[in-house]
Amino acid sequence: MLISHSSASFTNLNVYDKSLYYHNKVKLVTQIENVISPSKPFTLMGEHSVRCTGCGDLLYPCSLRCSKDDGLPRAEYIQKRIVPRDLPGIWRFIDWLPVREPLQGLGGRSVSYKSSGLARELGLENLLISFSGYWPEIGATLSGCSFKDLEAAPTMQRLVETGGGIMVVASAGNTARSFAQVANAANLPLVLVVPEESLHRLWAVDGEGPICLVAVEGDYNQAIVLGERISSEEGFQAEGGARNIARRDGMGTVMIEAVLRAGKLPHHYFQAVGSGTGGIAAWEASMRLLADGRFGERLPRLHLAQNLPCAPIHSAWMDLEGPKSTCPRGMYDDVLFNRHPPYGMPGGVAEALQSTDGAVYGVGNEEAKAAEVLFQEAEGIDILPAAAVAVAALIQARRAGSIGDRDRVLLNITGGGISRLKEDFTMNYITNDMTVRHGDSAEEVVAMIKEILRGRGICC
């Protein structure tokens, strides 16, 4: 190792000292690698490099964009065969996560199991369900009750390791809740920006950590705009959305965990999507598992689902008229709506679908409700509305004859177990610190956020 430290003394450092340590460590490694191999100066972050999916150039390790095109950054891991480590939760797959070490205090992951109830209802012999949520009876302990927990943990750890500042997350609800769970557990500072109508989704089971919650009058798009403005300030860092490799590779552990359990890649993969980032993550993880050489010879076919009528990915894929201006009102689950999904760029949703001979389904509200009831009765656990949309898509595909009786099918239940969580924990709703109205000065809003954080002892 080029640099070492005392684990005992390092554990006692606060988050700012840890960030400074990692920041200096990365700079020193960069200087040493530039001397050793000046033609390859960007193979940083321990065991991976970052490459543009468009032009193919190597990028700086924390890059969100390439200067030459709009391609998504993608991690290329030195370890080509996945061997689970003796670590808790998602960190078992740390060789395929862009971090140096686990984030302490966080050990949840998705859990897959072979279905009997829903499989029987649909006449499927090899239906594997991946459950991300709270269902301790099968070992699922994600306190945010969403697979967004899987992206939040490595994203926050990567921020600590690179000294990137205070994370700013714009969300329609579920992502913000997951990042809040991680921030609370690890005592990391965080700014959340959400639509006012999504405040009911923001709760934690560990009390409130160093979080500033900002509600926005408007929808997710307005939250994104304000989040970008805040993160442009010195000392703040945007989480990066689909462009953040830690987010995608965290979600990709759903595919890794399920394939390691089954021993083979599935023929079909079903998931409900908003931006489609989870679909990209499943595709990228599948490519790595295919290259591993032990799990099959072809990529799973992606089956992505959206909630009609606010379904921009479905509209683009099917060449239909785009969503109405009234969206996301009237949706079964508005977390599935994103006005600007990462669709057409290199490495985006369209390429993932094309590479896997994929399909996109439009699911109405009544159809989703019926699928939710069917799943809960068949499997014995409550699920989030977004996950019900994926179940409905699976039902559509089965009725259309797109899936054979013996085909290996992986159904990603992206969230569930809230009712089960309430039996074991008290849900503490996160306090809204301020509400931003149309016409409010962005400069004044940023100044107020900084004042709130200073009042909580957080430097900014």
Same domain, 329 and 365: yes
**pTM assigned to the model:** 0.89
User: What is the structure's pLDDT at 2?
Assistant: 29
User: What is the structure's pLDDT at 7?
Assistant: 34
Burial 162-174 (b: 16+ CB within 10 A, else e): bbbbbbbbbbbbb
Q: If pLDDT is split at 50, 70 and 90, which confidence band does 460 have?
A: low
Residue 101 in any domain: the answer is no
Same domain, 199 and 218: yes
Distance, CA of 450 to CA of 460 (rounded, Å): 6
User: What is the structure's pLDDT at 146?
Assistant: 96
Bridge partners of 111, per DSSP, are: 131
Residue 4 has which token pair?
Answer: 């070492």
Residue 400 has which token pair?
Answer: 């259309």
Residue 401 in any domain: the answer is yes
Residue 113 has which token pair?
Answer: 């199991």
Q: If pLDDT is split at 50, 70 and 90, which confidence band does 17 have?
A: very low
Q: What is the DSSP secondary-structure string of 38-61?
A: TT-TT--TTTEEEEETTT--EE-T
- How far is residue 95 from each of residues 82, 85, 102, 339, measured CA to CA in Å? 7, 8, 11, 34
Residue 240 in any domain: the answer is no
Residue 215 in any domain: the answer is yes
Residue 229 has which token pair?
Answer: 């403005």
Q: Does residue 175 sit in helix, strand or coil?
A: helix
Q: Which residue has the higher pLDDT, 239 or 208?
A: 239
Whether the pLDDT of residue 34 is over 50: the answer is no
Distance, CA of 177 to CA of 193 (rounded, Å): 11
A 10 A CB-CB count for 10 gives 12
Q: If pLDDT is split at 50, 70 and 90, which confidence band does 322 have?
A: confident
- What is the domain range of residue 225? 166-234+430-455
Distance, CA of 417 to CA of 146 (rounded, Å): 9
Whether the pLDDT of residue 96 is over 70: the answer is yes
Q: Does residue 164 sit in helix, strand or coil?
A: coil
Q: What is the DSSP secondary-structure string of 334-400?
A: GGG--SS-S-SSTTSHHHHHHHTT-EEEEE-HHHHHHHHHHHHHHHSS-B-HHHHHHHHHHHHHHHT
Question: Mean pLDDT for the chain?
Answer: 89
Same domain, 409 and 286: yes
Same domain, 200 and 343: no
Residues across the chain: 460
User: What is the structure's pLDDT at 142?
Assistant: 95
Same domain, 273 and 341: yes
Whether the pLDDT of residue 458 is over 90: the answer is no
Same domain, 126 and 264: yes
Range of weakest confidence among 42-46, 64-68, 431-435:
42-46
Residue 190 has which token pair?
Answer: 């965080």
Same domain, 416 and 449: no
Q: pLDDT tens digit string along 118-129? A: 999 999 999 999
Same domain, 200 and 256: no
Residue 48 in any domain: the answer is no
Whether the pLDDT of residue 10 is over 60: the answer is no
Residue 201 in any domain: the answer is yes
Number of folded domains in the chain? 3
Q: If pLDDT is split at 50, 70 and 90, which confidence band does 158 have?
A: very high
Residue 312 has which token pair?
Answer: 């921009």
Q: Which pairs from 351-356 meet CB under 8 Å and 24+ separation? A: 351/53, 352/276, 352/279, 352/280, 352/283, 352/302, 353/279, 353/302, 353/304, 353/317, 355/283, 355/299, 356/283, 356/286, 356/299, 356/300, 356/301, 356/302
Same domain, 215 and 262: no
Q: What are phi and psi of 44, to 5 degrees?
A: -105, -170
The arithmetic mean of pLDDT across residues 244-256, rounded, is 98
DSSP 95: G
User: What is the structure's pLDDT at 9?
Assistant: 36
Q: If pLDDT is split at 50, 70 and 90, which confidence band does 143 have?
A: very high
User: What is the structure's pLDDT at 456?
Assistant: 86
Beta strands (DSSP E) in 150-300 are 166-170, 190-195, 203-204, 211-216, 236-238, 268-272
User: What is the structure's pLDDT at 110?
Assistant: 98
The arithmetic mean of pLDDT across residues 399-420, rounded, is 98
Residue 156 in any domain: the answer is no
Same domain, 415 and 438: no
Distance, CA of 460 to CA of 191 (rounded, Å): 11
Cβ-based burial of 446 (10 A; exposed 0-12, middle 13-18, buried ≥19)? middle
Same domain, 436 and 417: no
Q: Quick one: which H or E segment has residue 412?
A: strand 408-413
Residue 61 in any domain: the answer is no
User: What is the structure's pLDDT at 33?
Assistant: 39
Q: Do the beta carbons of residue 361 and residue 306 sit within 8 Å?
A: yes
Residue 299 has which token pair?
Answer: 């990529």
Where residue 183 sits, what CATH number does that domain have?
Answer: 3.40.50.1100
Same domain, 384 and 416: yes
Q: Quick one: which H or E segment has residue 162?
A: helix 148-162
